[in-house]
Structure 1
Amino acid sequence: MRGYKAILFDLDDTLLSRDQAVEKMFLIVLEKCYENVKHSAKREMLLKFKEYDNRCYGNNDKTIVLESFFDEFAPNDRLPRNYIQDFWNTNFPHCFSINQNTINIVNAIKMHVKVAIVTNGSTHRQKAKIMNTNLNSCFDVIIISEEVGISKPDKRIFNLALNKLKVQPEDALFVGDDIEKDIGGCQNANIKGIWFNPHKNKNDTKIKPYAEIDSLDRLFNYFMNQTQSY
């Protein structure tokens, strides 16, 4: 693949759809804590749930998400504050599902290069997501920020992955959805970054990705074209 020896991937909203998982988590909360919610009210509640989750994105403590949600929409059965984190950690990882096509693409790429996951998040939740979706069997190296004490965009977490893969920065590519943490971070480590942008978000930063794709199928085609032109 044009000299590349490794492809590094972000996890949430790259390999796995976090948005779909948040919707499933909302339904669990609804079933656990609320009774007889009108269908017309569910849409507003879901949008607010997503809003509070988004505000807390990157923070391992999810207590504030449900506390804020409960304050706005009084539940029939409010979870105790000291139980919320355990409730989230237990249920949220099971809300993720993997598209078989994603597995197929990663395995196809793995036939040519080493593959790794570099993700921010809590060790417990990220490991559970990876195990529940069987992604653990697909990757040579998995780096989780809480486990190693470094988070993206710090270049050290990318360097750690490269060291474990035994490849140089110029021999690797990184694929992620966050233009600053993923693409800016990997560029700080001298790794070319491919921006995964399925929603076609506008890039309002000064960060210029090496390439941009809107699906993992495009990623696979990109690599195949690189191989054929080499």
Structure 2
Amino acid sequence: MHIKAVIFDLDNTLMDRDMTFRKFTEQFVGEHLGHLDQHIQDEIVSDLKVRDADGYRNKQGFFAEMVEVLPWNNLVTASEIEAYYNKHYMTHACRMDYVEEVLAYCKYRGYRMGIMTNGPHYNQYRKMDVLQLRELFHTVIVSEDAGMKKPDQRIYQMALDKLQVSAENTVFVGDHPVNDIWGANQVGIRGIWLRRNHLWDDSLGMKPWKMIDQLNELMEII
């Protein structure tokens, strides 16, 4: 296999969403539920991570659930939580470990590089800009702009067309079994699965080309 291009997912692949969300919830709980003992606050932070479902939940539904289930001293509304989230969440944004080394290696090797991410235009571009990622890539595809989202086969073909490479010369790196690995496989792109929060679904009828636990393992593969 002669690799010419590497396409990356964004959340929990280039951006450490787990750490970003945890730091945000620690700040939120500390400020709004400071009347509770620290160990209870820690339990609430862990519970919110589960309820958030790795970011795949509708945000308004998540915020409304927080209003109902948290042990408030001074009740806040879902809209107030949303405003707090919009103001503070990205202040905790951080890159995944080894991003700098991996992207520098890809550039050194002369690979075409792309980001493909599901989500709203404003949110996803804000993440990339805060983390100073956008300028490092030859192309960026955000699902809202594309009018389709992973795992729609057309969005992977769009990336190949923009990068001017073929599927057999391209790998896709991401943490989601369906959106990043299975979807890419449907058009012939080899998937490198970064194991984070998702379990592999054997009903997909395929396996990742490669599996990694840290991004720096990618350099030996490619």
Judge conservation of contact 1:152–1:182 (CA < 8 Å) in 2. yes
The counterpart of 1:105, out of the listed 74, 95, 102, is: 102
Give the match for residue 183 of structure 1: 181
Deviations along 1:11-61, one digit per CA (max 9) or x if unpaired, are: 111112211111112123224422322112112211221122117x334x4
Judge conservation of contact 2:185–2:191 (CA < 8 Å) in 1. yes
Matched residue type, 1:209? P
Aligned residues: 220
Deviations along 1:165-201, one digit per CA (max 9) or x if unpaired, are: 1112222110111111111110112211111125794
Q: How do 1:62-77 residues align onto structure 2 when only pairs under 5 Å count?
A: 62-77=59-74
Q: How do 1:1-230 residues align onto structure 2 when only pairs under 5 Å count?
A: 2-54=1-53, 57-59=55-57, 61-99=58-96, 101-111=98-108, 112-197=110-195, 201-205=199-203, 206-223=205-222
State the shift of 1:83 in Å: 4.1
Tell me the TM-score normalized by structure 2: 0.89
Matched residue type, 1:21? T
Judge conservation of contact 1:103–1:135 (CA < 8 Å) in 2. no
State the shift of 1:202 in Å: 4.8
Q: 1:31 and 1:160 mapped to 2: Cα distance?
A: 44
Q: 1:32 and 1:46 mapped to 2: Cα distance?
A: 12
Judge conservation of contact 1:192–1:209 (CA < 8 Å) in 2. yes
Q: 2:74 and 2:124 mapped to 1: Cα distance?
A: 28
Moved more, 207-216 or 111-120: 207-216
State the shift of 1:153 in Å: 0.7
State the shift of 1:71 in Å: 1.1
Secondary structure of the residue aligned to 1:48 is helix
State the shift of 1:99 in Å: 4.7
1:124–1:79 distance in 2 versus 1, CA, 3 Å: farther
Task: For structure 1, list consecutive stretches of 5 or more residues without a partner in the other structure.
Answer: 224-230
Moved more, 61-70 or 45-54: 61-70
State the shift of 1:87 in Å: 3.2
Matched residue type, 1:15? L
Tell me the TM-score normalized by structure 1: 0.86
Matched residue type, 1:197? R
Across the aligned residues of Structure 1 and Structure 2, the Cα RMSD in angstroms comes to: 2.2
